[in-house]
């Protein structure tokens, strides 16, 4: 079709075609230059997500972006997601060795301070660092620009950030989704804003083992009566880690949002079961009374029968006193089995354990009548993908070990 022929098509049809190219920036750039009718939709996709993350070059990219938005202000409204990675501002080569300037670009770039207020429709902000970003070392202008932007941004991700003032979260009334990865808060900084014109609520939270202490501080801040943001209406919780301290933090979150939490995704690391078992015994998943979907990712070292996490899962489902939500509709259990000799281990070493029958009996109980799908994803570390014989044998034996779920039609096995 020639450029002149596009005029016979309505603009919404042209836009729908261009929408299919959202993952092809090269073609979108060509379309933006081809015809006026292609320009705005192509630009919306090209500028939707901005990455200022490239090592050493991020500052130059920030400067160029600021200049582009200054010359073409209409492009600012297209930016929805901004990924910022603090890195050395510059590097040079001396005698074949790369010399890196230790000063991070965010600490010296005036364009970044001016850039954030130019993005009225920003919905997602991710801040990370190559070497660890110390919030206190950033200039006051940079910190102020970020904090002002976060008052209206619904999604925030912090990675490898230190000394971020946890009290400021009380002011982020528009925040709905939080992700923390290796984050440490400054718990001493005071929040000067104590007025609560209206309250927002956090919908989704993800954090790793390294950030669990910071999350506990966050819970304390958001439970204060002066906070504009609450955590009592959390709908999705995703965590990675299963230390005793992590169990305490997760328990606090389940208790705070017991009537609203719908989805729990928990990646339980491979840990020594001995110190973990007592902490698991006192942990009750049944606190989340409205849970609809539960996904557990468990790395099992040694025998499945000796794994504290698997035993805990079976006990929680089997216990009428604890009683995981009876309206649970979907359970995903992803197991990575790290057996002693994965190359020569007989399939029976994995399947011939009472834990599978325990899970089958617990999950097939009448009180879980709403549980329409139970997915077991089982992978054995060291098994080749083309080893279809052992995979098929293990799948067949696990189906035999869980006849109740199989007969109910709720069991899905992926080996």
Domain boundaries, the chain: 234-415
Q: Are 127 and 161 in contact (CB under 8 A)?
A: yes
Model pLDDT, residue 96: 45
Structure tokens at 164: 């971020």
Q: What is the pTM of this model?
A: 0.83
Model pLDDT, residue 279: 67
Model pLDDT, residue 270: 52
Model pLDDT, residue 98: 46
The low-confidence residues of the chain, meaning pLDDT below 50, are 1, 90-102, 271-274
241: left (phi over 0), alpha (psi -120 to 50) or beta: left
Model pLDDT, residue 179: 95
Model pLDDT, residue 291: 82
185: left (phi over 0), alpha (psi -120 to 50) or beta: beta
Tell me the C-alpha distance between 88 and 102, whole Å.
6
Q: Are 177 and 145 in contact (CB under 8 A)?
A: no
Q: Are 130 and 115 in contact (CB under 8 A)?
A: no
Tell me the C-alpha distance between 124 and 122, whole Å.
6
Structure tokens at 403: 């006849």
Model pLDDT, residue 326: 64
How many helices and strands, by DSSP H and E, does the chain display?
A: 14, 17
Structure tokens at 109: 């770039």
3 state DSSP class of 94: strand
Tell me the C-alpha distance between 229 and 201, whole Å.
5
Model pLDDT, residue 127: 92
Model pLDDT, residue 345: 59
Tokens 């089958």 found at: 360
Model pLDDT, residue 343: 59
- Rounded to the nearest 5 percent, the helix, strand and coil shares of the chain are 45, 25, 35
Single out the residue of 401, 300, 414, 320 nearest to residue 366, CA to CA. 320
């Amino acid at each position: 079709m020639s450029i002149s022929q596009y005029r016979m098509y309505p603009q919404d049809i042209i836009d729908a075609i261009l929408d299919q190219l959202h993952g092809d920036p090269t073609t979108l750039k060509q379309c933006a230059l081809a015809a006026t009718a292609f320009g705005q939709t192509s630009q919306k996709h090209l500028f939707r997500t901005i990455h200022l993350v490239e090592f050493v070059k991020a500052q130059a990219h920030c400067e160029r972006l600021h200049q582009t938005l200054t010359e073409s202000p209409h492009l600012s409204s297209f930016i929805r997601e901004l990924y910022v990675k603090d890195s050395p501002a510059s590097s040079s080569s001396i005698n074949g060795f790369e010399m890196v300037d230790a000063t991070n670009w965010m600490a010296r770039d005036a364009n970044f301070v001016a850039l954030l207020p130019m993005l009225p429709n920003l919905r997602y902000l991710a801040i990370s660092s190559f070497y660890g970003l110390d919030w206190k070392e950033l200039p006051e202008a940079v910190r102020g620009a970020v904090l002002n932007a976060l008052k209206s941004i619904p999604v925030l991700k912090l990675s490898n950030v230190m000394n971020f003032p946890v009290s400021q979260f009380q002011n982020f009334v528009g925040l709905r989704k939080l992700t923390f990865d290796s984050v440490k808060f400054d718990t001493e900084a005071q929040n000067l804003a104590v007025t609560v014109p209206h309250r927002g609520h956090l919908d989704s939270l993800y954090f790793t083992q390294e950030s669990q202490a910071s999350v506990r501080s966050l819970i304390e801040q958001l439970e204060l009566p002066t906070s504009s943001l609450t955590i009592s209406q959390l709908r999705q919780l995703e965590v990675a880690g299963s230390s005793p301290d992590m169990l305490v933090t997760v328990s606090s979150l389940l208790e705070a949002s017991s009537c609203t939490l719908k989805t729990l995704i928990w990646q339980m690391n491979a840990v020594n079961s001995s110190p973990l078992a007592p902490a698991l015994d006192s942990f009750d998943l049944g606190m989340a009374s409205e849970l609809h979907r539960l996904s557990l990712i468990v790395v099992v070292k040694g025998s499945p029968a000796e794994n504290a996490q698997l035993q805990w899962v079976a006990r929680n489902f089997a216990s009428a006193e604890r009683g995981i939500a009876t309206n649970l509709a979907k359970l995903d259990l992803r197991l990575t089995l790290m057996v002693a000799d994965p190359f020569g281990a007989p399939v029976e070493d994995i399947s011939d354990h009472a834990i599978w029958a325990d899970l089958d009996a617990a999950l097939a109980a009448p009180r879980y009548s709403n549980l329409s799908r139970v997915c077991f994803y089982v992978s054995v570390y060291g098994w080749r993908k083309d080893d279809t014989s052992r995979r098929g044998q293990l799948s067949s034996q696990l189906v035999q070990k869980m006849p109740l779920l199989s007969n109910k039609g709720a069991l899905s096995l992926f080996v």
